């Protein structure tokens, strides 16, 4: 007992307890996230038929395996897709980002090359390879449902998203040629899937970070500002007061110079 009491007063004991607490907290968080992903993958696999998975495998081998490898285990030109889940495939393929049009800092949005049925089949196949986030349920995409809090969604967006996507969700530049895309005219499902899977340079907002109801509130806020348009007039890309002030200053200066040139020509 005496030795134990002495060790408890050891100057490094506090640090050891702190490290132990961090390890336990991290372990519990990892287990909770894995359980949520496994449940989502189980739901997707159960909903998808064996025919969907088989057709998805054929589509994958014909269109995706050249980069992501046979069995989606990855290759020199593309990462492994085992464990990314159906939501990641539905987002990347549904927005046309995959297959990529060309190599670059990040995949660009373009018209999708697959039908909704084919996209679902690809998602079902990849989901069958390992646990991952599933396609969101309709109840979390209904921005007009009872209990939706647009004001809370705006707060969550400004805290978690506005530093990259701009306070008006107009997008913004990042480093080394990368960018945060505009969120205008993006479907509710794809916004939710982006938050859930973290495509490109975006962080992952799992259910442990943002509950499904919180994600729905953010989507409701984005759709609200999208429908409101720009009541103040010309939006100028909604990139902030500095750029707007520079535009006004430049335009005003140009008018003054033009007026002075006109006066000089009149006097001569």
What is the Cα–Cα distance from 181 to 110, expressed in whole angstroms? 12
| Model confidence pLDDT, tens digit, residues 111-137 | 999 999 999 999 999 999 998 999 999
Phi, psi of 172, rounded to the nearest 5 degrees? -170, 165
CATH dotted code for 28-135? 1.10.760.10
Res 163 pLDDT > 50? yes
Residue 1 has pLDDT above 50, yes or no: no
Q: What pLDDT was estimated at residue 236?
A: 64
For residue 32, what pLDDT is reported? 54
Three-state secondary structure readout of the chain:
CHHHHHHHCCCCHHHHHHHHHHHHHHHHHHHHHHHHHHHHHHHHHHHCCHHHHHHHHHHHHHHCHHHHCHHHCCECCECCCCCCHHHHHHHHHHCCCCCCCCCCCCCCCCCCCCCHHHHHHHHHHHHCCCCCCCCCCHHHCCCCCCCCCHHHHHHHHHHHCHHHHCCCCCCEECCCCCEECCCCCCCHHHHHHHHHHCCCCCCCCCCCCCCHHHHHHHHHHHHHHHHHCCCCCCCHHHCCHHHHHHHHHHHHHHHHHHHHHHHHHHHC
Domain boundaries in the chain? 28-135, 136-252
Can you give the pLDDT at residue 40?
47
Whether 4 shows a pLDDT value over 50: the answer reads no
Which band of pLDDT confidence, cut at 50, 70 and 90, is reported for residue 47? low
Using 50, 70 and 90 to split pLDDT, how confident is the model at 141?
very high
pLDDT over threshold 70, residue 155: yes
Q: Which two tokens stand for residue 83?
A: 């464990």
What distance in Å separates the CA atoms of residue 18 and residue 11, rounded to the nearest whole number?
Answer: 12
Residue range 136-252, CATH number: 1.10.760
Q: Is the pLDDT of residue 18 over 80?
A: no
State percent of the chain over pLDDT 90: 55
Do the beta carbons of residue 123 and residue 135 sit within 8 Å? yes
- Can you tell me the distance from the alpha carbon of 88 to that of 190, in angstroms, rounded to the nearest whole number? 9
- Kindly report which listed range (22-31, 44-53, 57-66, 175-184) carries the lowest average pLDDT score: 22-31
pLDDT for the residue numbered 10: 57
For β-strands 172-173 and 179-180, DSSP reports them as antiparallel
Residue 64 assigned as binding residue = yes
Identical fold at 28-135 and 136-252?
A: yes
Note the pLDDT tens digit of each residue in 193-236: 999 999 988 999 999 899 999 999 999 999 999 888 666 666 66
pTM tops 0.75, yes or no: no
Q: Is the pLDDT confidence value at 33 over 60?
A: no
Q: Which residue has the tokens 């960018």?
A: 179
- Residue 67 known to bind ligand: yes
Does 261 have pLDDT greater than 80? yes
pLDDT number for residue 45: 47
State residue 265's pLDDT score.
82
pLDDT digits (tens, 9 = 90+) for 94-108: 999 999 888 888 999
Reply yes or no on whether the pLDDT at 63 is more than 60: yes
68 assigned to a ligand binding site: yes
């Amino acid at each position: 007992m005496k030795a134990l009491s002495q060790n408890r007063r050891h100057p490094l004991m506090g640090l050891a307890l702190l490290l132990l607490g961090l390890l336990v907290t991290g372990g519990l968080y990892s287990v909770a996230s894995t359980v949520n992903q496994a449940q989502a993958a189980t739901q997707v696999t159960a909903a998808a038929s064996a025919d969907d998975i088989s057709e998805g495998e054929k589509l994958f081998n014909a269109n995706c395996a050249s980069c992501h490898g046979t069995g989606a285990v990855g290759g020199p030109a593309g990462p492994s897709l085992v464990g990314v889940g159906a939501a990641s495939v539905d987002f990347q393929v549904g927005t046309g980002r995959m297959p990529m049009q060309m190599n670059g800092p990040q995949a660009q949005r373009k018209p999708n090359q697959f039908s909704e049925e084919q996209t679902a089949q690809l998602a079902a196949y990849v989901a069958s390879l390992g646990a991952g986030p599933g396609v969101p349920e309709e109840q979390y995409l209904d921005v007009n449902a009872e209990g939706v809090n647009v004001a809370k969604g705006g707060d969550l967006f400004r805290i978690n998203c506005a530093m990259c996507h701009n306070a008006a969700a107009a997008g913004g530049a990042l480093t080394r040629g990368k960018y945060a895309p505009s969120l205008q005219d993006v479907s509710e499902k794809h916004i939710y899937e982006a938050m859930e899977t973290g495509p490109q340079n975006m962080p992952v907002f799992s259910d442990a970070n943002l509950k499904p109801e919180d994600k729905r509130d953010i989507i409701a806020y984005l759709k609200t500002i999208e429908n409101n348009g720009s009541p103040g007039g010309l939006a100028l890309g909604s990139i902030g007061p500095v750029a707007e002030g520079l535009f006004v200053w430049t335009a005003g200066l140009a008018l003054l110079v033009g007026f002075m040139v006109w006066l000089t020509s009149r006097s001569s």
